[in-house]
Amino acid sequence: MSQQIQEKYEESQLYKIRHSAAHIMAQAVLEMFPDGKISIGPPIENGFYYDFDLPRNLTPEDLEQIEKRMRQVIQGKHEFKKKVVSADEAREIFKDQPYKIELIDGLEKGGLDEYGNPLKEKPEISIYQHDSFVDLCRGPHVQNTKEIKQDAFKLMSIAGAYWRGDENNKMLQRIYGTAWENAQQLKDHLWQLEEAKKRDHRKLGKELEIFIFDDEVGPGLPLWLPNGGIMIEELEKLAKEMEEKAGYVRVRTPVVSKEDLFVHSGHLPYYAESMYPPMEIEGVKYYVKPMNCPMHHKIFASKGRSYRDLPIRLAEYGTCYRYEKSGELFGLMRVRSMQMNDAHMYVTEDQFEQEFLGVIDLYLKYFELFGIEKYVMRFSLHSKAGLGKKYVDNERLWLKTEDMVRRAMIHGNIPFVEAEDEAAFYGPKIDVQIWSSIGREFSLATNQVDFAQPARFDLKYTNKEGNEEMPLCIHRAPLGTHERMIGFLIEHYAGNFPVWLSPEQARVISITDSQNEYAESIAKQLRENGIRAHADLSAQRMNAKIRQAQLMKVPYMLVVGENEMKAEQVSLRVRDGSQQNNIPLSEFVARAKDRIARRASEL
């Protein structure tokens, strides 16, 4: 959640409901465990949590009792009362709560938040009380407990969580809950969660034989099975077609390079923690590449360039490797090996707006193709405080390039939101958030401006007057990585991919062994027509074969029995449940080829 969206959320009634529900839950837990210790209980994106140090492990049955007590407290219509106190007063109030004492000490001495991070300014110390419960809190809260609807909240799960997120600290018990403004919103949220479980790309990816992980290979390093390989090829084919039309040229670069390259580019100081350790060969350190851009800059610089050559658009589906902590890995969404839909565009200032909006146009075309109806373009800016540490130290160029991006988006009538302190280290960017068909949010793609590396690599072109100028560089990845994109598409389509993207597009099913030869000949004809197909010649009964094809979410099932064989026809069963009996094979081939050629969503 961006800072701007977070600030808006904190001002909402929903935030107050969830924050208040966390306090009510803590009250119920302390009543159940009078000697229990409380730590923090913030609202989060879809609910709230509270962390506890308790004498025994919680159970699902405990959650039922806690919920029951919460409803009783809510019914009491207790007012939430705020009081500003001194640090000493706060320590006296929470003398039996060591985690609160630690928070109070941090607030008093250094203005630290609950995770020990410095706050922008030293805050006041305040407490909130409702009924018999008092908590160290800056708010905000609802006016009274009855503003929380009894049928609009639910405790969801129990998890472990280290105090302040530090694995060197004690493990606490975290209770997650969700709360909404009304019962229908809660019902919709619970439906979405249940649907998300069914669509989980990790579950479906294994069932549909798309990818696996293996401990001996290593965490975060996916192995693409044949079905996944087909999906990757289809996405690359799509990207190559789109990019060729837009004037891109394709390049290839090595997976390893000398340390000097990443020192030269400026990446190493900023990205060292997310890069794999170097390997030393003949006294020289080499890194597996975490990004393609330094090598693309070398390709641009490999010969003299004229203004007539620009814009130059270098594209590559290069494999990059980044070290993500084990606890942050998540299926295909957070991995250590990624194949990126990468390109770098070298442009003059006069060309910048048109080229930048050309990338945005690519996004919109992909959104239309994949049926992505909800998205947000987030304009990520630098912060002045981060100059020289998190960001390249050139305030003038930051402001200039940010203004260029802002004007381009406005002129292109592209809605966007601004997010401070989220830029790349070398320039501002547009980050793209998309929502799947069931409303789950994903971070997908990026469109970045780079004013730093062209200078570092001394990239030049000759202008109309015969003088040398430095180009601007645009980094872009409209399809993100294969890993994240395919993870998204699995969940977005629930595995029911459109025909063009389906690893297996048609399965020919013989009713008895006597039709096996005919079924195999049909499958061969389909493959000759560019349709991915195979014949199921197993000894299973027809219904079992159909069921197996349905489980693998094959779009088309062609059933052939004695009648179909004699008439040289097929009976078509479609994944959506429709059916056509005894049709010429040519009719089906024309239908399938049409859907594939158009990359149509319909079957």
pLDDT digits (tens, 9 = 90+) for 10-39: 778 999 999 999 999 999 999 999 999 999
Distance, in Å, from the CA atom of 241 to the CA atom of 245, rounded to the nearest integer, reads 6
Residue with tokens 């158009």: 598
333-344: average pLDDT:
93
CATH of domain 206-493: 3.30.930.10
Cis peptide before 254 (omega within 30 of 0): no
Residue 495 Rama label (left phi>0; alpha psi -120 to 50; beta): left
What proportions of the chain, in percent to the nearest 5, are helix, strand and coil? 40, 25, 35
438-455 pLDDT, tens digit per residue, is 888 888 888 888 888 898
State the span(s) of the chain assigned CATH 3.40.50.800: 499-598
pLDDT of 358 = 93
Task: Note whether 551 and 541 are within 8 A (CB).
Answer: no
**What is the DSSP secondary structure assignment for residue 218, as one 8-state letter?**
-
Q: Say yes or no to pLDDT of 122 above 80.
A: no
425 — pLDDT class (breaks 50, 70, 90): confident
Tokens describing residue 1: 């959640």
Q: Say yes or no to pLDDT of 421 above 90.
A: no
56-93 pLDDT, tens digit per residue, is 999 999 999 999 999 999 999 999 999 999 999 999 99
Q: According to DSSP H, which parts of 224-301 are helical?
A: 226-245, 259-265, 267-271, 293-300
Q: Which of 122, 98, 106, 109 is nearest to 39 (CA)?
A: 98
User: Backbone phi, then psi, for 478, in 5-degree steps?
Assistant: -60, -30
- Scored b (16 or more CB within 10 A) or e, 529-555 reads bebbbbbbbeeeeeeebbebbeebbbb
100 — pLDDT class (breaks 50, 70, 90): very high
pLDDT of 3 = 55
407 — pLDDT class (breaks 50, 70, 90): very high
Task: Note whether 137 and 128 are within 8 A (CB).
Answer: yes
Instruction: Classify domain 3-182 by CATH architecture.
Output: 2-Layer Sandwich (3.30)
% residues pLDDT > 70 (the chain):
97
Q: What angle do CA 198, 203, 206 make, to 5 degrees?
A: 140
Say which CATH superfamily domain 499-598 falls into: Anticodon-binding domain (3.40.50.800)
Run of H or E including 352: helix 349-370
Task: Note whether 155 and 63 are within 8 A (CB).
Answer: yes
State the span(s) of the chain assigned CATH 3.30.930.10: 206-493
pLDDT of 11 = 78
Neighbour tally for 385: CB within 10 Å: 11
**What is the DSSP secondary structure assignment for residue 515, as one 8-state letter?**
G
Model confidence, pTM = 0.83
For 62, the 3-state DSSP assignment is helix
State the span(s) of the chain assigned CATH 3.30.980.10: 3-182
**HSE (side-chain half, CA atoms, 13 Å) at 436:** 24
